[in-house]
């Protein structure tokens, strides 16, 4: 799940594209701390993804990963770490405009990444 790159922007842009002219009551932008896999095993870091109707959508680095929430959160140990911030479309839009960046806005991770 580590992308070393554009996860906040990719998730934010996905939400903007999906929500600008549509009802997005079922879409949530999530910034959270995840556990690394492979070469990053044992490390935690900040990451961003979309939750939509029980499915995680991860668009980072050109991917189009869609997994059931339970599986994605298990792989990233997200519930075990317990450090997530969820934003509605209105909240995300306001924070993007206010901060002039895609995030993270409230997320602080143990590793600082």
Residue partners of 50: CB distance under 8 A and separation at least 6: 11, 14, 15, 27, 28, 29, 30, 56, 57, 58, 59
Residue 3 has pLDDT above 50, yes or no: no
Q: What is the mean pLDDT of residues 28-33?
A: 98
pLDDT confidence tier of residue 42, bands split at 50, 70 and 90: confident
Rg of the chain (C-alpha set): 13
Total residue length of the chain: 113
Mean pLDDT, the chain, integer: 93
């Amino acid at each position: 799940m580590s992308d070393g790159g554009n996860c906040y922007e990719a998730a934010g842009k996905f939400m903007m594209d999906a929500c600008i002219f549509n009802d997005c009551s079922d879409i949530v932008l999530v910034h959270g701390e995840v556990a690394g896999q492979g070469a990053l095993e044992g490390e935690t870091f900040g990451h961003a993804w979309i939750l939509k109707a029980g499915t995680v959508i991860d668009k980072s680095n050109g991917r189009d990963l869609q997994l059931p929430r339970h599986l994605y959160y298990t792989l990233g140990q997200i519930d075990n770490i317990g450090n997530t911030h969820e934003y509605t479309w209105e909240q995300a839009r306001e924070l993007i405009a206010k901060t002039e960046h895609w995030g993270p806005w409230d997320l602080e991770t143990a590793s600082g990444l």
